Every structure is written in structure tokens, then in C-alpha cells.
Amino acid sequence: MTLESRMDISIDGAKKMVEAALISLDALNKGVFEAKQTEADPVFLAYRDAVSRALMVLLEDVLNPVFAKYPELKPPGFR
């Protein structure tokens, strides 16, 4: 069951959720780049795979349902 079908989120709540999710996406992406520079390939690859799964959850289960309801909250160029 998706976020969209479980609650009727207000635009104020959606804005806060989008802000937190975008900050999290940025931090996770930065962590991948840092790990690439500092870790051996097996560690980096395991970390990158784990981060990829987390990013997909944020996109599919949080951001996409919010953007479906409030498309105006989707940042320009965000795919």
C-alpha cells in the first residue's frame, strides 16, 4: 500500500516531506561519491547497492506519491 492510498496529506505536510526526502537523497548520493574515493571496491559496491535500494524507496514510496498529488512541489528538472 502506498503513502498516497494511506493518508490524505496536506500540502504543508507534503512540503516538509519533500524537503526531508531531498536532503536525504543528497546526503546518500554524497556518501556514495565519498565511499568511491575512500573504500575498496567490494565495500564501495556493497554500499552503493544499499544506497540504491534506499533511493528507490524514497522515490517510489515517498516522493512519487507526493508529486502525483502536488505536482507543483516537484523541483524543476527532477526525474
Domain ranges of the chain: 3-70
Which residue's entry shows cell 554524497? Answer: 30
7, pLDDT greater than 70: no
Instruction: Report residue 15 as a C-alpha cell.
Output: 512540503
13-70 pLDDT per residue, tens = 999 999 999 999 999 999 999 999 999 999 999 999 999 999 999 999 999 999 999 9
14 in Cβ contact with 68 (< 8 Å): no
pLDDT at position 32 is: 96
Q: Whole-model pTM?
A: 0.81
Structure confidence at residue 12 (pLDDT): 96
